Amino acid sequence: MQNRIMAGDILCLLVIHLALLVAEARYFLRDDVKVFYSWSDASYDLLTDRGFGFIRGGVINFQLRCPEPEPSAPPDLWLLLCSMSGGRKFTRIPLTQLNYRCHQLSGGMSEKDVSMSDTFCQRVTVAPNSSGTYHVQHRVSNTDFYRFVLLQCPNSKGPVVTNLSETIDLQVTCSSALMTVNPGNEQLSSDEIPMIYIYDALLFIWIILIMAWLGNFFLFRRYSNKLHKLLTFAPILKLLLVSIILSRWRSISDEGLEFDSMDNVCHFFRSLEDALMFTIMLIVARGWGLLHCTMNNLQWGSFIFFFLVFAVSLMCIRWVHNYFLAFSICCVVFLTYKTLKCCSLNIEYIQRRRRKFRHFVNRCNLHYRTKTTVDDQLLHKVALFTRFRFVCAAFSLVFSLVVTLAMFLSEYAYVQALTYEVPKLMAYVAIGVIFRLRNFGPFEHIEVAPPKESVIVFLLPEVALGQLRPEVILGVPEHDGDGDLDCYLMKSQKG
């Protein structure tokens, strides 16, 4: 008997998988549905983690295969189509009230919506086809977002077992296939239909932006440094992530199946991309490539540590528990605080250098031979840090709100995608505009001269020297003149 049951299960699974290859529908498969035979109380099971948005005329097809124990009294099964709020309230219905509703259902209530603890769920009878097999097909009459609940009521015609010790062996594990399809053989939920168009547009935009960024790199590559190369890596990872997400939605639309492996890959790369973006923002705020081009191992180690902690916390939101959302928000707040603080300290440092160098120029009565001055160079760096600080503050605030609101937008997948992708796209564009390469030639050659023409002052590029402070070199003629300026006799001066 047991061998016949196992063979029947294998045959049923084979039929279901063959149906997946030829039919056009969205599939939610489970092999851990608990069904209670000869049970004295009602029970329920949520068949899907999230709901499905139906358009009027959509079809739902549900199949359940169970190895039927003998002797047994198979339960009366009802497929409930509950709204999202109704589904949440349904899970809080007391057992006594659930048993009472089952008693009403067994008494032959009308086919209209059944009120359960102030919630409304459409009920569909799941009738057995053969031994241990249940099937139901239903056409949805209105446009709405539903969650699917399998309600199990004690068999109204069979014997009821009340001894708990006798019911342990009457709990069986069944495999279910829930198939949904919208009109026009559309396999995506109503809120998911725009997702392909959204990510098609995002893919096109990111390709254009990366081509523009690389074109800017080749046009002004002589001014590129390691910071610019690091900034290039982030949008390339983002392009890869958008491609993976688009492939996932196309796969669901074409095949109707959601693969956990694809979902995990998407979440993994999304977590890496989020963590990398905030880490790069912190590195830029520290002034690497702008005020200095070297950092010690301890600093690089701290950046790697922040990146790993933030990435792991984002991954744990999906793979461990939603409670890690609070930890992720704390990581965002900490990284934002460090980024804004570093930007402010660097702005203050550059302003001090401006005041000190202006005092040096005035004291030595120097004048510039070039159109670009040292003050222009320092002001340009102040502008870079000021704009970058504003972008970081705005994006961090929006990111925290979006991550939090995403938990409450499960019915609106396209809204969730737009609120996540659009602010990040704007932040990437803003950072790219701020730190784009351009003709920095005028900043590399600045000449400062005292009143006596036999002396000339050169400002050497600070980043090329790997120094924190610009260095002014005074060229002194071979035979000293009669000048009495202090700066005329100086060999070098930290400016």
Q: Are 17 and 140 in contact (CB under 8 A)?
A: no
pLDDT score of 94 = 74
pLDDT tens string 154-210: 776 655 444 444 444 477 888 888 888 888 888 888 888 999 999 999 999 999 999
Question: CB atoms < 10 A from the CB of 183, how many?
Answer: 12
Establish if 458 belongs to a structural domain.
no
Establish if 331 belongs to a structural domain.
yes
Q: What does the alpha-carbon distance between residue 159 and residue 419 come to, in Å, rounded to a whole number?
A: 55
pLDDT tens string 323-346: 888 888 888 889 899 999 999 999
Establish if 366 belongs to a structural domain.
no
Q: For residues 343, 349, 351 and 357, what is the CA-based torsion angle, rounded to 10 degrees?
A: -150
Structure tokens that stand for 360 in this block: 């040096």
Instruction: Note down the domain range covering 88.
Output: 27-181
pLDDT score of 410 = 65
Q: How many domains does the chain have?
A: 2
What is the value of pTM for the model shown? 0.76
pLDDT score of 209 = 95
Query: In this structure, are 257 and 378 located in the same domain?
Result: yes
Establish if 206 belongs to a structural domain.
yes
Query: In this structure, are 264 and 310 located in the same domain?
Result: yes
Residues of the chain with pLDDT under 50: 1-24, 108-119, 160-169, 462-468, 470, 476-495
Establish if 355 belongs to a structural domain.
no
Query: In this structure, are 63 and 159 located in the same domain?
Result: yes
Total number of residues shown for the chain: 495
Query: In this structure, are 176 and 197 located in the same domain?
Result: no
Q: Which amino acid is at 79?
A: L
Query: In this structure, are 175 and 197 located in the same domain?
Result: no
Query: In this structure, are 145 and 207 located in the same domain?
Result: no
Give the contacts of 231 (CB within 8 A, at least 6 positions apart): 280, 284, 431, 432, 435
Query: In this structure, are 244 and 392 located in the same domain?
Result: yes
pLDDT tens string 458-493: 555 544 444 445 455 555 444 444 444 444 333 444
Q: Are 268 and 279 in contact (CB under 8 A)?
A: no
Q: What does the alpha-carbon distance between residue 228 and residue 222 come to, in Å, rounded to a whole number?
A: 12
For the chain, give the percent of residues with pLDDT over 90. 25
3-state secondary structure the chain: CHHHHHHHHHHHHHHHHHHHHHCCCEEEEEEEEEEECCCCCCEEEECCCCCEEECCCCEEEEEEECCCCCCCCCCEEEEEEEEHHHHHHHCCCCHHHHHHHHHHHHCCCCCCCEEECCEEEEEEEEEEEECCEEEEEEECCCCEEEEEEEEEECCCCCCCCCCHHHHHHHEEEEEEEEEEEECCCECCCCCCHHHHHHHHHHHHHHHHHHHHHHHHHHHCHHHCCHHHHHHHHHHHHHHHHHHHHHHHHHHHHHHCECCHHHHHHHHHHHHHHHHHHHHHHHHHHCCECCCECCCCHHHHHHHHHHHHHHHHHHHHHHHCCCCHHHHHHHHHHHHHHHHHHHHHHHHHHHHHHHHHHHHHHHHHCCEECCCCCHHHHHHHHHHHHHHHHHHHHHHHHHHHHHHHHHHHCCCCHHHHHHHHHHHHHHHHHHHHHHCCCCCCHHHHCEEEECCCCCCEEEECCHHHHCCCCCEEEEECCCCCCCCCCHHHHCCEEEC
Query: In this structure, are 88 and 235 located in the same domain?
Result: no
**CA neighbours closer than 13 Å in the CB half-sphere of residue 490:** 18
- Residue 440 C-alpha from the chain's centroid: 36
Establish if 476 belongs to a structural domain.
no
Establish if 464 belongs to a structural domain.
no
